């Protein structure tokens, strides 16, 4: 996507993993530069990324969007979106000690919003699955929504929980299954149908940032092929969110991105080639603080609303929604 191409509020909301009303609020306050085209409000990717880059850590404390709005943008090295702590309910100041859910999947947004609606203060830490799990272990997050593939065991999530959170007392709750694969231009002009196809000359990859579930899956598949990743054109590129990687494909700047079906559904001019079934799980660290929240989460996931909301994002398998698949 060129820096001067316009995005609408819905696209910005998906980019930032927030609701459209939050985008309008950020535009109204001037936190994100916006433009009027007729009666419609529009944004450029350059301005949205400038907003993300304006986030800062104050000491060791992540700040909310509301706090960011009152902070001047400085010329220091910008931090990425993994360091934005978001009040999932209203972007207002978070009272007390909120229950922090790390990850970028929309399921985490739903869970945080549901907890807030029940009077349990919850916030979001926007970061890839691997980093989310590391920060859960480090105590910077109470929960993480993850989708991490392990080639050696041909399984999802639990091997990473065991390795990245050693000795931690956690519960892993199943959310849903879905497909990961290639997102390509309409009619798949490069005829990409296998992981080995990425190694063909002339295939340009729009890669994801290190630590994201899609990037981990790709790297595990390349390792299984004993492939040299540096031979893939575009491998060194990194998109912080799936929508940016997919737009590069849609705009002809790349031939393929790795992602799940929902990411392809939001962008015209691309199609999805399924390659791998995956599981998305919620990992919660068990502490005195989180035990009552875990009970609330079980109640939320047992509801018809949860099943409806989580399956509405894209085709997925929610048959085991709310099941405990691992506990330590």
215: number of Cβ within 10 Å: 20
**Do the bridges between strand 205-206 and strand 256-260 make them parallel or antiparallel, or are there none, so unpaired?**
parallel
- Taking phi first (over 0 means left), then psi (-120 to 50 degrees means alpha), and beta for anything else, what does residue 157 get? left
Helix (H/G/I), strand (E/B), else coil: 80? coil
H/E stretch holding 268: none
Domains of the chain and CATH, by start: 1-53 (1.10.1660), 58-176+279-327 (3.40.190.10), 180-277 (3.40.190.10)
User: What's the predicted TM-score (pTM) here?
Assistant: 0.75
Determine the distance from the C-alpha atom of residue 270 to the mean position of all C-alpha atoms in its chain, rounded to a whole number. Answer: 20
Segment 23-70, tens digit of pLDDT:
877 877 677 877 766 557 788 887 787 777 664 333 333 344 444 333
Please write the tens of the pLDDT for every residue from 231-279.
999 999 888 778 889 989 998 999 999 999 988 987 899 999 999 999 9
């Amino acid at each position: 996507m060129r820096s001067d191409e316009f995005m609408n509020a819905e696209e910005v909301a998906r980019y930032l993993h927030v609701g459209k009303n939050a985008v309008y609020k950020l535009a109204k306050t001037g936190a994100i530069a916006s433009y009027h085209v007729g009666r419609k409000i529009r944004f450029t990717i350059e301005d949205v990324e400038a907003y993300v880059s304006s986030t800062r850590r104050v000491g060791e404390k992540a700040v909310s969007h509301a706090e960011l709005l009152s902070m001047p943008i400085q010329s220091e090295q910008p931090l990425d979106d993994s360091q934005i702590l978001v009040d999932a309910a209203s972007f207002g100041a978070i009272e007390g000690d909120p229950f922090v859910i790390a990850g970028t999947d929309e399921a985490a947004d739903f869970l945080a919003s549901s907890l807030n609606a029940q009077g349990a203060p919850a916030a979001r830490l926007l970061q890839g699955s691997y980093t989310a799990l590391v920060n859960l272990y480090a105590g910077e997050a109470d929960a993480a929504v993850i989708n991490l593939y392990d080639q050696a065991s041909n399984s999802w999530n639990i091997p990473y929980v065991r390795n990245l959170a050693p000795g931690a007392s956690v519960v892993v709750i199943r959310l849903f299954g879905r497909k990961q694969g290639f997102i390509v231009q309409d009619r798949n002009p490069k005829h990409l149908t296998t992981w080995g196809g990425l190694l063909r000359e002339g295939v340009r990859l729009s890669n994801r940032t290190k630590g994201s579930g899609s990037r981990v899956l790709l790297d595990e598949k390349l390792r299984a092929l004993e492939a040299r990743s540096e031979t893939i054109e575009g491998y060194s590129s990194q998109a912080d969110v799936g929508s940016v990687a997919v737009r590069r494909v849609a705009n002809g700047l790349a031939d393929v991105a790795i992602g799940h079906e929902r990411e392809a559904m939001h962008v015209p001019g691309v199609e999805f080639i399924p390659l791998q079934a995956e599981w998305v799980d919620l990992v919660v660290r068990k502490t005195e603080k989180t035990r009552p929240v875990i009970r609330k989460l079980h109640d939320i996931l047992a509801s018809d609303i949860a099943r409806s909301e989580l399956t509405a994002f894209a085709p997925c398998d929610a048959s085991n929604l709310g099941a405990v698949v691992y506990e330590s």
